[in-house]
A = this chain, B = another copy of it.
Amino acid sequence: MKDLKLDDIRNQLIRQEETLIFSLIERAQFKFNEPIYLDAEIPIPGFEGCFCDYLLYETEKVHAKVRRYTSPDEEPFFTDLPDIVLPAVAYNVPLIPNAINVNADIMALYKDQILKQICQPGDCGNYGSSATCDVICLQALSKRIHYGKFVAEAKFQADEETYTALINARDAKGIEECLINKAVEAKVLARVESKATTYGQEPGEENPEFKVNPQAIAQIYEDYIIPLTIKVEVDYLLQRLDS
């Protein structure tokens, strides 16, 4: 297994902040548009779920064919996906084999909480555009949060002794305490708010109106993204010595 450097992973996570903030700002152009999240509200022949789920599922089918979910840093939201049509890639995967996938949690938080914090309430009728943005937001959130597997592996490699003892004791709480670094978290939150401030305004305006409240984006990190990432890290470490 390849050695993982925590610094490389942090740089990846920092770059993913842009992707995530850009995608949330894009979604916030449109109102909440509730009908796209209500099952069967927009009737789709042969599909029982909501319009947002349908567009995500159809997109995942396309991306599955071009190998997206064979990559160790991608997890699909749907399970019933077609086989790849391209030759397989031999990844040098720096993780233990695992089936950790918290996308159901991500989807629930996105629809119930995150959207309401970034979008204006109401209905602007731009259902297709909104759902297209949703797909990009959900994929960015999923990638960011499942990157916790790499963080966990790097932290394990950096301190095998401590983690091995905790894992063997099945001490999830102890693992979590070991993983959490409040100083790093505070830096992430400050950086995210600063980026959201910069990217969410028109340059040169004197009293900029933010496209999304920058504190709301930092809050989404604090309340959902970081805790779910920690959950992925703990789940991964609990399985770390199984194989």
Interface residues of chain A, those whose CB is within 8 Å of chain B, are: 14-15, 18-19, 22, 25-26, 29, 42-45, 51, 54-55, 58-59, 61-63, 65-68, 71, 85-87, 128, 131-132, 136, 191, 194-195, 197-199, 202-204, 211
Question: When the two chains form the complex, which single residue of B18, B25, B59, B203 contacts A59, counting CB atoms closer than 8 Å?
Answer: B59
Instruction: Please report the C-alpha to C-alpha distance between residue A44 and residue B84 in the assembled complex, in whole angstroms.
Output: 10
A-B contact pairs, 24 of them (CB 8 A): A15-B29, A18-B25, A18-B26, A18-B211, A19-B26, A22-B22, A22-B25, A22-B199, A42-B86, A43-B86, A44-B86, A45-B85, A55-B62, A59-B59, A59-B62, A62-B62, A66-B128, A67-B128, A71-B128, A191-B203, A195-B202, A197-B203, A198-B203, A199-B199
Q: Which residue of B lies closest to A21 (CB)?
A: B22
Cβ of A28 to closest chain B Cβ, rounded Å: 11
A55 CB contact (under 8 Å) in B66, B87, B203, B211: B66
A138 to chain B, nearest CB (A): 14
Secondary structure at the A interface, as helix, strand, loop or mixed, is helix
Nearest chain-B residue to A87 (Cβ)?
B43
Q: A87 — which chain B residues lie within 8 A by C-beta?
A: 43
Copy count, this protein chain:
2
For the complex formed, measure the closest distance between the CB of A190 and the CB atoms of chain B, giving whole angstroms. Answer: 9
- Chain B's closest residue to A211 (CB) is B18
A194 to B204 CA separation, bound complex (whole angstroms): 8
Docked-complex contact A54 and B26, CB < 8 angstroms = no
Q: How far is the CA of A18 from the CA of B201 in the complex (A)?
A: 10
Measured between C-beta atoms, what is the minimum distance from A63 to chain B in Å?
7
Complex: how many Å from CA A107 to CA B54? Answer: 28
Report the 8 A-B pairs with minimum CB-CB distance, sorted nearest first: A22-B22, A58-B62, A198-B203, A194-B203, A199-B199, A66-B128, A68-B128, A195-B203
A68 / chain B contacts, CB cutoff of 8 Å: 128, 132
Q: Tell me the complex Cα distance, A68–B130, Å.
A: 11
Contacts of A22 in B (CB 8 A): 22, 25-26, 199
